[in-house]
Structure 1
Amino acid sequence: MKNSPQPPRIPRRVRISMALRSFLIESAWNNRGKQNLGFCFSILPALKTLYSGNELLEAAKRHLSVFNTNPCFSGLVAGMVVEQEAREQGGKTLDGPKMLRMKSTLGSSFGAIGDDLMWLSLKPFLAVLAVLLFLLGHEWAFLWLVVPFSLANVILRFRGVELGLRGAPAVSRYFERTTPKHASAALKRATSVLLGAVAGVLLSWNHSSFAECNIHWFSFISVLPIIVVCFILRSRNVSSGKIGAVICGLILIGILLTV
């Protein structure tokens, strides 16, 4: 039995170029192909390593098909696609339609994972944390939104390319150990708690701090029941948006009661 040929190794400078180019994946977003131009641009250095001449042209055309995923996870998808290109190109058994189906499946799957983790979990958590710190007097509180989210974005893109190039088995093993779903759930619960804390701080402000509404009879202890309410709502799968609406309603009621 012959051993299957090993795929060509992608040089380090090409991997770095792929990760950097992934930041531009939405720069040429269009209604027809979504992120197709940006994705093709991001993997082009790797395709140039694997192909030349007409083969390179055909490979580039192959990846101009419709593509859409979460931008933060685009590096991971790009790495997996290039790894498959390298493996099949090394064995001269490239199946174009199979490649496109795989890319579409990866884009949809990691798009859903990324949207839930980054847009619906991490960003709201950091935003509410920044608001809470600002209310407590930290002038540079906005950095708690910008810096951690940007850092996570950079790490996901660079590490995603490296992980994706190791192949599907390595990606599967990684996500068995690190489950994005659990991280998203934890962040959403934490966001609910922080929302309760924000509401408590607002309700604790006195006449000189909050639009001339004399609500000094609210003490900071009001944070605790609001946090409990938020946690109960979150445990019943109520969305953060609805919880925020409830908190806004409580704040409005508190203001009206003190006018």
Structure 2
Amino acid sequence: MQQSLLKEHTAEISFPLKFENVPKNYVILANNLSDIPVLVKSRGMNIIFLKKSNCFFRINAANFHFGENKINLGKDDLIFSSKKKIEIIEIKKKSFKIYLDKIITKSVPIKIVFATSKDEEFFLKNKIVNINQNVKIKGPATILSKVKRVKTTAISRKMLKNDKIIADLISPDSKVQLLKKKITLKVTQLRIISKTISLIPVRYSLKENISIIPQKVSAMVQGPENIVKKLNNRNIIASIKTEKIKKNDFVTVDFNLPAGVKLLEYTPQKIQIIRNKK
């Protein structure tokens, strides 16, 4: 074992790149750039040292420009202890290109994510007042150009406190910085009320040679306060279907109500059909 450590060996070792003096407000995009393989020759103990120590290729980026930059690695760029006698036989990947991108700030809208379909339905009824918020993000221009929205973590009804929800924002990329990590969503919870509306005219086809008793009904409806408050006997439609008139002397009434409003009851529940003599 000891003889092996003192004996010379040839080995291929990969070393990372370390960029120094990168221009201010710029960033190096090198996602696909792997460590550089190098063929070295030295004693076994020195090779073990190279594999375990913090050795790297040092690249001075002071003169890099926006866009693509070509790099040519040399033996002097590999930084390791000068006390170790190591022969660099070959750098397997001497030339390659890296991209220098600008760091910019951009404002994008948020996209609210709901925990379940029931939560989404709840927040459609109980509106999020400030749903059209924008957030500022910072990062490489190339990446930010592809970011259209920033998602929230999934929100649910259980998170609602004092008509507000605090939601975390999710960065669309590891290189994108969120200048604000949380947002506050204001929710207007709809108050559900009931209302009785009297003297609603009952409509029917004038082609039928009939009269009805009574000609007006009262109805109790329930729904969001902002809608129900506006309802009266002029904007609620009560009617009798023609097929009912032809078959029965006492019929029920159908109601046409706004979306979100439901009929609780109406009186009288039956309308008498009086068939006029021809």
Q: TM-score, normalised by structure 1?
A: 0.23
Say which structure is richer in strand: 2
Q: TM-score, normalised by structure 2?
A: 0.22
Say which structure is richer in helix: 1
